[in-house]
Amino acid sequence: MSTLQLTRRRGLAAAGWLGPVVRRLGSGLAVLWAAATAAYVALLFAPGDTVDVLIGDGLDTPERRAQIIAEWGLDRSALEQYGDYLARLLRGDLGHSYILQRGVGDVLSSQIWPTVSLALTAAVFGVVLALVLALATAGRRSRFGDLVGLSELVVVSVPPFLIGILLLAVFSFTLGWFPVSGDRGFVSLVLPAVALGLQISGVLGQVLREGLERALEEPFAVTARSRGITEWRLVIRHALRHALLPAVTLLGWFTGVLLGGAIIIEAVFGRPGLGQVTVSAVTGKDMPVVMAVVLLSALAYVTVSTIVDLAYLAIDPRLRRSR
């Protein structure tokens, strides 16, 4: 009879997972739709004629105007336009750049990989550094800990491009270890990734350490110590999971920091990528490209946030029961 009960309970536990997972996926999609709508509304309500906004600094001819009106359906009712816009997005059609004379999807897909590899490398570097430093310094009052705390403060207070410039000055110009600019494989990825990753590790390190210290003061930590476990085990087996909860919340925000940071860092290191595309699009008022980048970043944010929410469920059993 007890085996029977066990299986029943297991089934229930699985059901307890399913509800929240479906709910979070659903709300992720809803947010994405709302974000696309918000971008569209912003475009329509931007000061000036929508056709002017879409042309930007591109060549302004009657033929092109007609093309834009046709492409965006500006001569049709607002609802039809909007439906058309969503339908195009669903097909993956991000529109046409009237300055570059190319499809936006085409422009982005040729430049996305350098940015993604930069962001991912930076994320891995930043997370690992933060984790190592937080574990090494949590709760211990030491010179080293103070130094790490101070460095974190400095790192979060320095504009990311300044870190990039400093790294360039030291490691490229003075020591000559790394190339000054361009994209020449992994070597040229190191300095930009470090510059970008430090931003993350500064914030994440502080959050992790505070989380660890708070967890180590909780009554359950006293109970765990009273069982005779070592401090190291206490940190790894108990405190770390508690510290991860607030840290995981930040991951969505990190996506924004990484993408925004990548734009600037690419400029510092003269790297190709979405950053350069974005900057020249903003300078040239190439609205279709700017909008596509903004939507892409919202997609990244929502994807990461949804993963984060699911990670939360995995870490904290208290959230699993559906209310």
Q: Residue 270 in 3-state DSSP?
A: coil
Tokens matching residue 246: 């607030």
Distance in Å, CB of 145 to another protein, minimum: 11
Q: Of 80 and 206, which has the nearer Cβ to another protein? A: 206
Distance in Å, CB of 59 to another protein, minimum: 18
Q: Of 76 and 267, which has the nearer Cβ to another protein? A: 267
Distance in Å, CB of 160 to another protein, minimum: 7
- Backbone dihedral region for residue 182 (phi beyond 0: left; psi -120 to 50: alpha; all else: beta): left
Tokens matching residue 164: 């990039």
Q: Of 83 and 159, which has the nearer Cβ to another protein? A: 159
Q: Of 131 and 234, which has the nearer Cβ to another protein? A: 234
Q: Cβ-count burial of 18 within 10 angstroms (0-12 exposed, 13-18 middle, 19+ buried)?
A: exposed
Q: Residue 223 in 3-state DSSP?
A: helix
User: What kind and span of H or E run contains 96?
Assistant: strand 96-97
Q: Of 76 and 151, which has the nearer Cβ to another protein? A: 151
Which string of DSSP letters, residue by residue, matches 30-58?
HHHHHHHHHHHHHHHHSSS-HHHHHHTTS
Q: Of 76 and 241, which has the nearer Cβ to another protein? A: 241
Q: Residue 200 in 3-state DSSP?
A: helix
Q: Of 76 and 139, which has the nearer Cβ to another protein? A: 139
Distance in Å, CB of 268 to another protein, minimum: 7
Question: Nearest-CA neighbor of 134 among 256, 236, 228?
Answer: 236
d(C-alpha 149, C-alpha 126), whole Å: 15
Q: Of 130 and 265, which has the nearer Cβ to another protein? A: 265
- Specify whether the CB–CB gap between 192 and 126 falls below 8 A: no
Distance in Å, CB of 242 to another protein, minimum: 6
Distance in Å, CB of 211 to another protein, minimum: 12
Distance in Å, CB of 144 to another protein, minimum: 13
- Specify whether the CB–CB gap between 235 and 216 falls below 8 A: yes
Question: Nearest-CA neighbor of 263 among 272, 255, 274?
Answer: 274
Q: Of 117 and 181, which has the nearer Cβ to another protein? A: 181
Which string of DSSP letters, residue by residue, matches 148-186?
HHHHHHHHHHS-HHHHHHHHIIIIIIIS--S-SSS--TT
Question: Nearest-CA neighbor of 197 among 126, 257, 254, 260?
Answer: 126
Distance in Å, CB of 282 to another protein, minimum: 5
Distance in Å, CB of 95 to another protein, minimum: 14
